[in-house]
Amino acid sequence: MGNIFGKYTAIISASKYVLLLNITDKIFSFLLLLLFARILEPDSYGAIVTIFTLSLTLAAIFDLGLPIYMQRQITIEPHISSEIFSAVFSTGLLIFFLYLLAGSAYFLLFYSGLPFIIFIIVSVTIYSSQLVNLCNRALSAKEEFNGQFYAFLLPRVIILAVFLLSYFYFALSIEILLAAMLAGFILNLFFALISLNKNGVKFSTKHFSLTSVLPLLFSSLPLGLAVVFNYLYDKIDILIISKMLDFSSVAYYNIGYGLFKGAAISFSFILVPAFSRISGASRDKAAVNVFFKEYTRLMLVICIAAAAAAFFLADWIIQLLYTERFATSGAILKILAPAIIAAGMNNLTGTTLNGMGYFKIVMFITLYALVLNVVLNILFIPRFGIHASAVISVITEYFIFIVELYYLRKILRTP
């Protein structure tokens, strides 16, 4: 028992900076959305959430699997880490223009009644965060986690300070607050690039050529599609609710769903360094099998505890943080609580499959999950509202876990 406890303590200790980064990020996001919810009426809050969701969805589409693919390649070929990072980061900079153009066209076509300037600020902020994620993945491949945390911390403190000062004293406009957020994310990107340079990963455009873009995208495409399908099934319900119901319903659902996703803080920090570990041992199925069993036990304990807390404390949390106005969100969180277990476990199975290089399997599973989620939402939201969407999210999470587990067990049994 002592050896087992020591092993799990070592796993968590090795991930402490990832844990700190996750906790800080979740607290930051939670506080900002909480301030928005307290400042704005449910309809206006729902509109802001919809704009963020649209931008995040577009960012996921243009992710193209590059961050995860880059982390795996740097782990396998650390001697050319600067070349790999420079090629991927330069490609990401080029993709930004396509992302902004496509996003603007979609927004003006389907959400022309909302402020375009807010969409532009939010979109650039989200893509800046995507570039930060590229840097963090390269740092993770180098097992440099404290650099990620410190590059993240100061910009978030500055952003939060501006929001709090506005809430209590100055009452700044939404546009100014969002512009302050954008400035903070750009500062985070600057610090992350400095941290990479200190760790021997130097960005240079000389490692980039247009002829290398297509082979790079072709290699990362299965991962990219998996990221897109995964994110769409995660966020598509918000967009469907915004069109089939109203922005108030978006607000009530998003608060419950946001707290459900926030529970990922209890386990996601373990999986970031785990991906590099699996990538390094991907050819040794026996080693991967041992890894998977160790992490399964740990993840189950964490996720069951988190699910129980979310279910029994749902109403109290909503009343305390969001007031009686959002009481409906408590019921949404209770419905979603059991899905925390499935979300944690399908994150583990997906991380293991991707680390072993089985990108296409994960891609197709997430595609099927997306189709299932969209079809069920369209069928049942008009009749049962946001409660149906919550139940469908639970079904989707367990579907992904069961199918990924089936394929993973099959792969690990193959000589």
At residue 282, the pLDDT reads 63
Task: Please state the domain count of the chain.
Answer: 1
151 pLDDT higher than 90:
no
Instruction: Give the best-scoring range by mean pLDDT among 20-29, 34-43, 245-254.
Output: 245-254
Contacts of 42 (CB under 8 A, 6+ apart): 247, 248, 251, 252, 325, 326
Examine the pLDDT at 349 and tell me if it is beyond 80.
yes
Q: How much is the average pLDDT of 122-137?
A: 92
pLDDT band at 1 (very low <50, low <70, confident <90, very high): very low
Instruction: Give the model's pLDDT for residue 184.
Output: 93
Its pTM stands at 0.69
- pLDDT surpassing 60 at residue 336: yes
Query: Averaging pLDDT over each range in 4-8, 52-56, 203-207, 231-235, which range is the top one?
Result: 52-56
pLDDT at 311 over 60: yes
Residue pLDDT, tens place only, 172-186? 888 888 999 999 999
23 or 73, which is more confident: 73
Segment 266-295 shows an average pLDDT of 75
375 or 173, greater pLDDT = 375
Cβ distance 266 to 303 under 8 Å? yes
121-132 average pLDDT score: 94
Q: What are the C-alpha distances in Å from 244 to residues 46, 250, 259?
A: 13, 10, 23
259 versus 209: the higher-pLDDT residue is: 259
pLDDT recorded at residue 16: 62
pLDDT above 90: residue 6:
no
pLDDT band at residue 231, thresholds of 50, 70 and 90? confident
Asked if 315 and 329 count as a contact pair (C-beta separation under 8 A), the reply is no
Q: Where are the alpha helices (DSSP H) in 173-209?
A: 174-198
Q: Of 48-52, 149-153, 196-200, 272-276, give the lowest mean pLDDT range.
A: 272-276
User: Where does the pLDDT of residue 45 fall: very low under 50, low under 70, confident under 90, or very high at 90 and above?
Assistant: confident
Q: Where are the alpha helices (DSSP H) in 40-167?
A: 42-61, 66-76, 81-110, 116-141, 146-165
Q: How does pLDDT run across 96-118, given as a tens digit for each residue?
A: 999 999 999 999 998 888 889 99
User: Residue 130 is part of which domain span?
Assistant: 2-413
Identify the pLDDT of residue 47: 85
Q: Are 183 and 128 in contact (CB under 8 A)?
A: no
Residues 333, 259 contacting (CB under 8 angstroms): yes
